[in-house]
Chain A
Amino acid sequence: MSTIDGGATLGETRSSAVVGVEEPKRPPRSRRRMREIGLAYLLLLPSLVIFGVFIFYPFLRNFYLGFYRTPPFPGLPMRYVGFDQYRDVLTSTDFLDSVKTTVLFMIMTVPAGIALGLGLAVLAHQRLKGIGVYRTIFSSTVATSVAVASVIFGTLFNPVVGLLPWLGVNPRPPILDNPQWALPAVALVTIWQTLGLTFILMSSGLQAIPDEIHEAARVDGAGAGTRFWKITIPLLSPTIFFAVVIGGIFAFQTFGQIDLLTQGGPLKKTNVLTYFVYRTLRTENNDGKAAVLAVALFTITMTLTLVQMRFLERRVHYGR
């Protein structure tokens, strides 16, 4: 460290300048510049190495892998097939169903999750004695992981020991084996697990809205409903927008819930895209096909995010 420390010092030029006009003692300007540049690259290096090896290289290699068919038995060479594999995989029923399932899952989780988080945040945004306890409870699910939530709910759904069947929610076949109910059930787990995070997001958004605006509106005779729709929602729109975008990205990354609760079934009804990639990689050992799916996963997520930014952000009210 000391060599570098002595190298590109902030101080050496300045201190000499203060003492007097000992200009010649200052290292040549270009050398100082070179040291600063060298230091900068040195500081960026660790991050760039990680990014290069574990993000950019594997990302780009997907496109390449997609051109090669993985042999049915390990040891045989990969076969170059051009765009054939892209075409085959992207037009397959399995893929299209998987995209449909993922979009459906997003529609089930994002709007409901945000509405619940926002509702709780508005309710907890009151000056009441003991409100802190409620806030802690409403944010409590951030302390759970996807695995924790899935194992808890998996047991609650269990047809023998579960509480949900006892409460009368007991379809045949059991919820998680039921083609109609499995996906909504996983969505419910997800909404609960992310509720704490959504609540925290919405609460901090609400806290950023100055009380005076509400006061002024109240003085002008605006009721609670008017204030909610005309003040809270517009001023909170950047936070809501953020939650929608992140929620969409999360939905396309859904994995743990599926692995722990349904393994993509029944009848592939919960075979979301990330789980499909995993299965193709792990069970089929088919790197080529998995790579095509990964490229699709990336493209869809990216497009979705850009579309949301394009069309939603226009309706977002920034600034004051």
Chain B
Amino acid sequence: MAAELPRPSSAGRTRARHLTGLAARYLLLTVLAIIVIFPLYITIVNSLLTPGQIAARPPKFFPLHPQWDTYSRAWDVGHMSRYLVNSAIVTAFITVGQVVTATLAAYAFAFLEFPFKRTLFVVFLATLMVPFEVTIITNLTTVTSLGWYDSYQGLAVPFLATGFGAFLLRQAFLQVPRDLQDAAELDGYGHWRFMLRVAVPLARPAMAALSVFAFLGAWNQYLWPLLVTKDDRYRTVQIGLKQLRATSIDQVNVTFAGVMIAALPLVILLLFFQKQLVRGLTAGAVKG
């Protein structure tokens, strides 16, 4: 809301009222911001205190003598380094997989003609209606019988394709101007070359959005990793937190440090890819 020009006659009073209003707005925003950020703030503070200080009443809201070694304890003794690497591997596997399979499928739906195209597209959309939670019973059996219990494959393979991704990229491919297709034909481009040199680069915003979306989903997974891993060597960071909390029950500070370590990759993602993140998260929402 832009500041309105004060009328010269009552300039002083209008200005004063304007300033009060402005101060009130900032006050309200600040109070709300403090409430929203408080749980994260206190996590950082507690990760730098000793367990005794955390239990002290009244509580400490600022670490005067930050205990940085809490982080190295969570990292080494709490196995957070291992969990983080596992999460990174599985997340990378899933993100790349989803982008690749969605690109291929979306290309077929956008640029090729083939029998049962509509039916197959409906099949892709139908996958969106089956919540993953509904499939865990047989998926657990399948993964176990493939020998994939406690493995990266078991964690990642069921998620290597998404109807959502194919749908999103198809929308983007349909925006590719017809002229470009004709020009590419004139230059003797085959479908693969057209896909990689023209369609994919033009759909970059949608691909970035899908990547961020896939990354977020994969990184935050909880139920499936809990089901298909028992071994610490394959546990992801989300399940690792549960483990860490259980093993450091008398050292809340280490748990808090682990929480920060687990959250950091997404904080970085949020700070540097805010635009793509917003686009990925809102891709389905805008208009009907």
Contacts and interface: CB of A to CB of B under 8 A. Distances in A.
Interface of A: 1, 4-12, 14-15, 18, 36-37, 39-41, 43-44, 46-51, 53-59, 61-62, 65, 120, 123-124, 126-128, 131, 133-134, 136-149, 151-156, 160-161, 163, 166, 192, 195, 197, 200-201, 204-205, 208, 238-239, 242-243, 249, 252-253, 255-256, 259-260, 274, 277-278, 281-282, 287, 290-291, 294-295, 297-298, 301-302, 305, 313, 316, 318-319
Interface residues of B, number: 105
Contacts of A18: 186
Interface SS of chain A: helix
A51 B189 CA distance: 31
A239 B102 CA distance: 25
B88 interface: no
A264 B120 CA distance: 40
Contacts of B216: 142
Q: Closest 3 A-B residue pairs measured CB to CB?
A: A58-B138, A11-B188, A50-B161
Given A51-B161, A143-B263, A152-B39, A166 B187 contact: no
Interface string B118-143: 00100110010111111111111110
A147 B259 CA distance: 9
B140 A281 contact: yes
B189 A9 contact: yes
Given A37-B114, A253-B132, A274-B133, 5 more contacts: A9-B189, A133-B33, A145-B238, A201-B282, A259-B242
B72 interface: no
A11 B39 contact: no
B199 to A, nearest CB: 11
A147 B241 contact: yes
A44 B105 contact: yes
B28 interface: yes
A55 B135 contact: yes
A297 B137 contact: no
Given A36-B112, A144-B266, A58 B142 contact: yes
A204 B138 contact: no
A294 B136 CA distance: 9
Contacts of A147: 220, 222, 238-239, 241-242, 262
Interface stretch (B12-20, B190-198, B202-210): B190-198
A287 to B, nearest CB: 6
B285 to A, nearest CB: 4
B252 interface: yes
Contacts, number: 309
B81 to A, nearest CB: 17
A250 to B, nearest CB: 10
A161 to B, nearest CB: 5
A43 to B, nearest CB: 4
B211 to A, nearest CB: 15
B255 interface: yes
Kindly name the residue among B40, B100, B140, B266 whose own CB sees the greatest number of chain A CB atoms within 10 A: B40
Contacts of B142: 53-54, 57-58
Given A155-B252, A200-B281, A10 B181 contact: yes
Nearest to B121: A44
A277 B136 CA distance: 9
B184 interface: yes
B161 A208 contact: no
Given A134-B29, A147-B242, A277-B136, A253 B131 contact: yes
A47 B59 contact: no
B107 to A, nearest CB: 6
A152 B263 CA distance: 11
A275 B281 CA distance: 26
A252 B131 CA distance: 9
